[in-house]
Amino acid sequence: MKLSARNVLKGKVVAVTTGATTTVVKIEIAAGMIISSSITNEAAKDLGLEIGSEAHAVIKSSDVIIAVP
């Protein structure tokens, strides 16, 4: 599969929390670095997401916001 997004981060699924309509998936891309995504329950089921499985976070955005304390 080819994607137009250039930010693809490989990692391992560390949490899958299913709610009424959406599932929050957390992927560890490096030690202590977690990316979270909220996807539909149907998408999570179709992807077969399980803790410990390999996954990729694909980030496509026209805006990047940076904040400092």
Residue 48 resides in a domain: yes
Kindly tell me if the per-residue pLDDT of 46 is higher than 90: yes
Residue 2 resides in a domain: no
Residue 64 resides in a domain: no
Question: Domain with 43 in it: what CATH number?
Answer: 2.40.50.100
Cα torsion 63, 4, 41, 10: sign: negative
The structural domain count of the chain equals 1
For 18-44, the pLDDT digits (tens) are: 999 999 999 999 999 999 999 999 999
Residue 68 resides in a domain: no
Q: Domain span at residue 21?
A: 8-59
Global pTM reads 0.83
DSSP tally for the chain: helices H, then strands E = 1, 4
